[in-house]
């Protein structure tokens, strides 16, 4: 309906303009005849002195109407195109400025022409207009991004670079050429990659814990048989000192293996727990004096325990084992002298944090942090630190951190190591 009304208005305006121009010509021609040819019969001149004159004026009138119609149509078409271009430019400007991905445009010489609001407000260094992209700005990449950019512009073919490391962040970069140069978008996927790595690590640990649990149960069955038969030997040969001597050694060895399988079961989340309401703050205060005896005197322990620490439901013995293992690792990491800082505070886990830590639920937790001044861990060690039997020491079973992982996960918590 609106389109029909607009078309009618346009046609009316065209016809009126043409008639006005033709009428003006008719009157002007009559006036010129009166003044230049001394013909003072005004009415006759306006109407036309003969049929030929009238015919000529009618033809001119029609030509003016046709010309006016085409002129008005061309003007209206131009205005529509101009309006469409203006609206398109406004849409492009809005999409460019409010695009949630950092976007930079460059000309054919790779010089920066503009960047959007997300880039401007990112908090990172922004390019200057006229800077050569990937030379004057953002030049530290593993590959020559300037050459890649120029190749995209020359070939007019888009390119994607899924995992580019820049300033410690993982970026997904896309270069899309267009008539005036190229559009470069850089999406920061660092958090997604971290979450992906954590999920892969969690799946790997689940698989290992299942295997460890199966082995531990088989060990327990075998140890039960060894222990039972050893007891029968002692009963059968009660007066034989030699047999009793060797059977006692068997008991000692089986007890050691039982402790080992208990740790494996703890890692596999299959250990037996005696949960009760405890204060983590009190547990730390009670355990720390016992641990200090095994530490070097040059190591200083600094405690910052939040007052009114919430009560949690947990197995005190198992949590004490975790704290002891973590403290021992921290002490061993300090080669000569240094300090270990132990802090305890409430931790509110929201949806975003729970998403980044598989298995955690939204709610309030108690966060125990142990920091040391010792030598850090490399990337490979950090990825394997919770695996059973993995150890950076020449000797040792490497089950302390593995068991700690199983215990904390089984308690519905989360344990992680951050090292530089």
pLDDT digits (tens, 9 = 90+) for 339-392: 999 999 999 998 888 877 877 889 999 999 999 988 888 777 777 777 766 666
As a whole number, mean pLDDT of residues 300-310 equals 85
CA atoms of 231 and 176, how far apart (whole Å): 78
Side-by-side strand order, sheet with 181-188: 112-115, 102-106, 181-188, 169-178, 159-166
CA atoms of 45 and 163, how far apart (whole Å): 86
Backbone angles phi, psi at 322, to 5 degrees: -65, -50
Q: Which of 286, 277, 275, 276 is nearest to 410 (CA)?
A: 275
Query: What does the DSSP 8-state code read for residue 245?
Result: H
pTM over 0.75: no
CA atoms of 136 and 150, how far apart (whole Å): 15
Question: Is the Cβ–Cβ distance between 104 and 178 less than 8 Å?
Answer: no
Q: Considering just the CA atoms, what is the radius of gyration of the chain in Å?
A: 43
CA atoms of 30 and 47, how far apart (whole Å): 9
> Which residue's entry shows tokens 């931790």?
347
CA atoms of 363 and 116, how far apart (whole Å): 38
Residue 404, H or E segment: helix 400-410
Angle between helices 280-292 and 316-333 in degrees, nearest 10: 50
Residue 219, H or E segment: helix 190-236
CA atoms of 7 and 209, how far apart (whole Å): 77
Is residue 324 scored above 50 in pLDDT?
Answer: yes
Is residue 175 scored above 90 in pLDDT?
Answer: yes
Residue 19: pLDDT band (50, 70, 90) is low
Q: What is the pLDDT of residues 394-409, one digit of tens each?
A: 444 556 777 788 888 8
């Amino acid at each position: 309906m609106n389109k029909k009304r607009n078309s009618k208005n346009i046609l009316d305006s065209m016809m009126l303009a043409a008639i006005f121009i033709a009428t003006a010509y008719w009157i002007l021609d009559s006036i010129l005849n009166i003044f230049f040819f001394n013909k003072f019969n005004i009415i006759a001149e306006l109407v036309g002195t003969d049929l030929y004159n009238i015919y000529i004026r009618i033809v001119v009138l029609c030509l003016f109407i046709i010309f006016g119609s085409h002129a008005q149509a061309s003007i209206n078409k131009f205005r529509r195109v101009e309006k469409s271009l203006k609206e398109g430019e406004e849409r492009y400007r809005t999409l460019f400025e409010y695009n949630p991905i950092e976007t930079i445009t460059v000309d054919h010489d790779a010089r920066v022409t503009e960047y959007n609001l997300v880039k401007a407000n990112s908090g990172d260094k922004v390019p200057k207009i006229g800077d050569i992209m990937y030379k004057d700005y953002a030049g530290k990449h593993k590959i020559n991004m300037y050459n890649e950019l120029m190749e995209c512009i020359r070939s007019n073919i888009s390119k994607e670079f899924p995992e580019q490391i820049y300033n410690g962040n993982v970026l997904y970069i896309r270069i899309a050429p267009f008539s005036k140069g190229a559009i470069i978008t850089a999406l920061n996927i660092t958090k997604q990659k971290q979450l992906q790595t954590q999920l892969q690590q969690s799946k790997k640990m689940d698989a290992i814990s299942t295997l460890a649990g199966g082995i531990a149960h088989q060990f327990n069955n075998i140890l039960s048989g060894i222990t039972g038969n050893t007891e029968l030997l002692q009963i059968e040969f009660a007066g034989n000192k030699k047999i009793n001597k060797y059977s006692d050694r068997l008991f000692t060895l089986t007890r050691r293996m039982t402790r080992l399988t208990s740790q494996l079961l703890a890692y596999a989340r299959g250990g037996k727990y005696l949960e009760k309401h405890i204060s983590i703050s009190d547990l730390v205060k009670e355990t720390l004096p016992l641990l200090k005896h095994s530490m070097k005197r040059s190591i200083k322990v600094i405690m910052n325990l939040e007052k009114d620490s919430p009560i949690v439901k947990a197995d005190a013995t198992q949590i004490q084992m975790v704290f002891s293992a973590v403290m021992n690792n921290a002490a061993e990491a300090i080669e000569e002298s240094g300090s270990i800082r132990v802090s305890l505070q409430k931790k509110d886990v929201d949806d975003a944090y729970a998403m980044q830590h598989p298995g955690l639920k939204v709610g309030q937790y108690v966060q125990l942090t142990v920091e040391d001044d010792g030598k850090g861990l490399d990337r490979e060690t950090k990825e394997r630190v919770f695996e059973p039997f993995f150890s950076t020491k020449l000797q040792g079973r490497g089950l302390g951190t593995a068991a700690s992982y199983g215990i904390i996960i089984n308690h519905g918590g989360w344990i992680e190591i951050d090292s530089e």
